[in-house]
Structure 1
Amino acid sequence: MEKLQAAIEKARKQREGQGPARTGPGHVTEPPVAIADAWAALTPFEVSAQHAAKSRLVSRDGGAEAGPFDMLRTRILQQASSNGWTRVALVSPHAECGKTTTAANLIFSFGRQSDLRTMVLDLDLRRQGLAKVLGLKRDGHMGEVLQGTLSFAEHGRRWGDNVAVGLNSGQVDNASEILQSARTKQTLDDLQAQYDPDIMLLDMPPLIGTDDNFGFLQNVDCAILVAEAERTTVEQVDVAERQLSELTTVMGVVLNKSHYTDGAYGYGYGYA
């Protein structure tokens, strides 16, 4: 642990001074040794093929079925690179739009982008969410990490060499207060200094029902709105997009669970 703390402190100083030169995602020099050590120290995890099939993690092994998520990954990277964005929130108008399944599939898509470091954090603190979709059990939750009572070095998990994941063990009672706190903002800044991710994807709660997003989204560069085909109404999308635009930049809208996309982008797969 002392070695890791020393590495983190060195990484912070390097970022403040002569950190790695960047001009956006995909334009990165070899990471400083301290940052590489911090990533290597994260505990790796695996997702079985059986669980991936059960949980619709179609991006796990790449190929044609991963096409829609690889396309989304590439569009995110293009927009982020053009605008100098790093923090991207995933938000839905209401529950069960498939936002967390989308975030989980993006873990594997970004994992195949080996020249990039990606951090995916489950900040929907009111449920287990991403951990359940991935089939992982966690004792702690991101609320503790955000408040500084649990280090990400202990809590975080790593897919492959270049995707770090933060998960939740269950519901956090004071989720809104945590997300809106100054301590959370500082923790996000610290994570960027310590791990220097090219992209940070934040899986957020639905807009309807809580104020979690409204006090937090000032901490991100942009947001993607994930809607559910045949269930999310046009009015709900319009209202959610207006709300998001008052809080941050809207990168785009993703139509999820569509059954009418066969042949789109050259892929014969009907779930995007």
Structure 2
Amino acid sequence: MDRITPAIGKNLHQVSPSTSETSQPAPTTDPSGALVPFDYIQTTVVPLRPEHLERHRIVAYNKNSNMSWAFDLLRTQVLQAMEENGWRTLAITSPTPEAGKTVLAINLAMSIAHHTTKTALLVDFDLRRPRVGASLGLPMGKAMNELLAGKAELGEVLVNPTLPRFVVLPTREPVPLSTEVLSSPKVTGLIGDLRDRYDSRICIFDLPPLLSSDDAITLMPKFDCVLLVVANGQNSKKEIEDCLYHLGNANLIGAVLNKAEPQKHSYY
């Protein structure tokens, strides 16, 4: 398991380390831009396999795991920053691929779900390289692909992976013309509906890497705040500076240094 070290604040720095939802319809948009209702009653419940989660470094599913403490610490810092500002939507991105942003997004969402007063919704908006559903081992008969194509309703694609207060909107396979799709009125309406449906919901969006395409830059103004995942020894100073430039108008609440070497402590 790679080490993560959360750092909350504007500057990049290192520090030590209900099972388902029910609701009323809310409006969104169809591919033509017209408003239509999202009508879902109950999410599909899908059991997870612990051995699959372990292979994909998903440790926060078991809140008693001795490897989940870092995500719990990150959860506390993130929720404090969001609650202070009344924020509900959190984007997670990285400078480049393979920084570990999807693994972190899943573990953070699960840790938030363990928080007794919050519901966590995790959305896979990395339409070029979706990994959330596969990392969790979800069947994904219908997913974001069908929702965006108008072939499924929101209620048909939301999944509860047998963890109370945790819901996932997975993407099964890459979506063509992803930048155009993400900038569409339908996606704007979807984000608004997911954010506004429940007062206690925290929406986490796994975005593409910032420097790999313009997908994340296109989406960033739609979210309340963003968390940057940086891979130790992999992302250069120039890449980090480029990310901070692109995030200049965003509410960057912090950064996570992933894949860092463990630090030894004589106490705790």
TM-score calculated relative to the size of structure 1: 0.79
Q: Quick check: 1:87 aligned with 2:89?
A: yes
Q: Is the 8 A contact 1:44 1:157 kept in 2?
A: yes
Question: Paired residue for 1:169?
Answer: 172
Alpha-carbon distance in structure 2 between the residues aligned to 1:263 and 1:135: 35
Q: Is the 8 A contact 1:127 1:168 kept in 2?
A: no
Alpha-carbon distance in structure 2 between the residues aligned to 1:265 and 1:104: 29
Alpha-carbon distance in structure 2 between the residues aligned to 1:120 and 1:199: 9
Taking only aligned residues, the RMSD between alpha carbons, in angstroms, comes to 2.5
Alpha-carbon distance in structure 2 between the residues aligned to 1:172 and 1:95: 17
* Aligned counterpart in structure 2 of residue 8 of structure 1, from 16, 21, 24: 24
TM-score calculated relative to the size of structure 2: 0.80
The one-letter code of the counterpart of 2:172 is S
Q: Is the 8 A contact 1:146 1:188 kept in 2?
A: no
Question: Paired residue for 2:221?
Answer: 218
Question: Paired residue for 2:195?
Answer: 192
- CA, structure 1 residues 86+194, in 2 after alignment: closer, same or farther (shift >3 Å)? closer
Q: Is the 8 A contact 2:89 2:195 kept in 1?
A: no
Alpha-carbon distance in structure 1 between the residues aligned to 2:240 and 2:133: 27
Point out which structure has higher relative CO (alpha carbons under 8 A, 6+ apart): 2
Question: Paired residue for 2:126?
Answer: 124
Alpha-carbon distance in structure 2 between the residues aligned to 1:264 and 1:91: 34
- 1:95 deviation in Å? 0.1
- 1:139 deviation in Å? 2.9
- CA, structure 1 residues 194+44, in 2 after alignment: closer, same or farther (shift >3 Å)? same
The structure whose residues are more often strand, as a share, is 2
Alpha-carbon distance in structure 2 between the residues aligned to 1:99 and 1:264: 30
- 1:73 deviation in Å? 0.9
Secondary structure of 2:115's partner? coil
* Aligned counterpart in structure 1 of residue 237 of structure 2, from 202, 224, 234: 234
The one-letter code of the counterpart of 2:120 is T
Q: Quick check: 1:44 aligned with 2:45?
A: yes
Q: Is the 8 A contact 2:40 2:153 kept in 1?
A: no
Question: Paired residue for 1:103?
Answer: 105
Alignment of 1:244-259 (within 5 A): 244-246=247-249, 248-259=250-261
Alignment of 1:193-208 (within 5 A): 193-208=196-211
Question: Paired residue for 2:55?
Answer: 54
**Cα deviations across residues 183-241 of structure 1 (Å, max 9, x unaligned)?**
21112112234344521100000012211012211100111000101111122112112
Alpha-carbon distance in structure 2 between the residues aligned to 1:46 and 1:253: 32
- 1:263 deviation in Å? 4.0
- CA, structure 1 residues 194+212, in 2 after alignment: closer, same or farther (shift >3 Å)? same
Secondary structure of 2:121's partner? strand
Return 5+ residue gaps in structure 2 as ranges: 1-20, 28-38
Q: Is the 8 A contact 1:176 1:211 kept in 2?
A: yes
Alpha-carbon distance in structure 1 between the residues aligned to 2:196 and 2:202: 13
Worse-superposed segment, 122-131 or 83-92: 122-131
- 1:265 deviation in Å? 9.9
- 1:149 deviation in Å? 4.2
Secondary structure of 1:192's partner? helix
